[in-house]
Amino acid sequence: MSTVGQTKRTTPAQIEAMKGTRPIVSLTAYTTPIARLLDPHCDLLLVGDSLGMVLYGMESTVGVTLEMMIAHGQGVMRGAKKACVIVDLPFGSYQESKEQAFRNAARILKETGCNGVKLEGGEEMAETVAFLTQRGVPVFGHIGLMPQLINTTGGYRSLGRSDKEADKIRRDAKAIADAGAFALVVEGTVEPLAREITQSIAIPTVGIGASAACDGQILVSDDMLGLFNDFKPRFVKHFAELAPTVSKAAEAYAAEVTARTFPGPEHTFQVKK
């Protein structure tokens, strides 16, 4: 098959090699159309289990299933041609054993064609990360605030303020880096600690609610686009305000339908005389 004119997709190895060169640009994507729009501008697209809250209205990510992640991973892969695409392993799909993690990670890779998987956890998941990477599964780590553990960690809050918390996050970062992850999300972690971790480990850190000194940044695309106005975490910046635009468009549509001005003649099919 000819590959002339095809765009080469960024690999996890290339993401890892970006440490110390320039910041890694990353966003979440859950659908084909959004993936197409984001792909030219991003090094990495994450099919995050945040889709449970963003698309399905769940209160947390805990209810997301493996089947949901695979379906959305397939959609994003249809739309992304350049960016490295990583799919989250959802809660309950990898914590039981390293063998369970491999089975489900292999299924995601096979059924979506994505470049790797992301999983949450520090020291306690290092053995699993090593097991996966030694068997050909690229792993994107995730430490600090871990949404899948929200039921046991006391809610969404910044971490690393106490010496005990900071020491645990430091150990987590080192353990996941040493286990072979190609990069590491650092979420909801106080700035000085995130900066310190970035300087201390060999793989790139990708911050969300962390530090500008991280090797890259990620945001939930719907937050970045301003599609939610009811809740805005401190670490989110709206680079657009699309919620009012969508609402006004729906209002205009409803008015024209009600007034029977839409559809007009140009929007209907007429019998030719």
* Active-site residue identified among 111, 124, 187, 191: 187
Structure tokens at 16: 């890892």
Partners of residue 173 on adjacent β-strands: none
86, 46 contact by CB (below 8 A): yes
82 annotated binding-site participant:
no
**Cβ neighbours of residue 60 closer than 8 Å, sequence gap 6 or more:** 52, 53, 147, 150, 151
Task: Report phi then psi at 141, rounded to 5.
Answer: -80, 170
72, 47 contact by CB (below 8 A): yes
Distance CA 130, CA 126 (A): 6
**pLDDT the model gives residue 156:** 56
**pLDDT the model gives residue 61:** 93
Question: According to the CATH classification, is domain 12-242 in 3.40.50.1820?
Answer: no
* C-alpha pair distances (Å), 215 with each of 23, 88, 129, 176, 194: 5, 20, 21, 16, 10
Of 131, 138, 133, the residue nearest 116 (C-alpha) = 138
**Cβ neighbours of residue 222 closer than 8 Å, sequence gap 6 or more:** 28, 54, 228
Distance CA 51, CA 30 (A): 7
46, 29 contact by CB (below 8 A): yes
3-state SS track over the chain: CCCCCCCCCCCHHHHHHCCCCCCEEEEECCCHHHHHHHHHHCCEEEECCCHHHHCCCCCCCCCCCHHHHHHHHHHHHHHCCCCEEEEECCCCCCCCCHHHHHHHHHHHHHHHCCCEEECCECHHHHHHHHHHHCCCCCEEEEEECCHHHHHHHCCCCCECCCHHHHHHHHHHHHHHHHHCCCEEEEECECHHHHHHHHHHCCCCEEEECCCCCCCEEEECHHHHCCCCCCCCCCCCCCCCCHHHHHHHHHHHHHHHHHCCCCCCHHHCCCCCC
187 is catalytic: yes
49, 148 contact by CB (below 8 A): yes
50 annotated binding-site participant:
yes
88 annotated binding-site participant:
yes
**pLDDT the model gives residue 3:** 47
120 annotated binding-site participant:
yes
Task: Report phi then psi at 65, rounded to 5.
Answer: -105, 165
pLDDT digits (tens), the chain, 273 positions: 444 455 799 999 999 999 999 999 999 999 999 999 999 999 999 999 999 999 999 999 999 999 999 999 999 999 999 999 999 999 999 999 999 999 999 999 999 999 999 999 999 999 999 999 999 999 999 999 887 776 555 555 676 578 999 999 999 999 999 999 999 999 999 999 999 999 999 999 999 999 999 999 999 999 999 998 776 777 789 999 999 999 999 999 999 999 999 999 999 998 888
222 annotated binding-site participant:
no
Amino acid at 193: L
**pLDDT the model gives residue 150:** 63
The residue whose two tokens read 């919620």 is: 243
